[in-house]
Amino acid sequence: MKKHYNHDEEIERTLQSLEGIQQAKPSPFFYTRLQARMEQKFVKKTGWQWRPVYAYAALGLVLLLNFATIYTLTHTPTQNSSTADSFASEYGLNSVSSLDTN
């Protein structure tokens, strides 16, 4: 059993409910904020941005410097005693002065 609806009456009630509606008013400065947000999307970000590629490059540079330092420290020739003795004798570091014999 279907209820028999009066369509004209339903339309009239709907139109009456719309009579008290007022136009919505945005908050102050809404359009200014909206315009600024829209302009911000079109502005290209210039300047330096942190990206993973820079982190990997910095890490690689640090590792390269560490390996170079280790390589130079392990492959430098050690000073033999004759070089140290010749340096000491040239600057008079081996001689004992009269002030040291007390």
pLDDT of residue 66: 96
Q: What is the pTM of this model?
A: 0.35
Closest CA to 54 of 65, 44, 62, 66: 62
Consecutive sets of 10 residues in the chain, 102 residues long: mean pLDDT of each? 72 84 86 89 72 90 96 77 76 63 52
Other Cβ atoms closer than 10 A to 2: 4
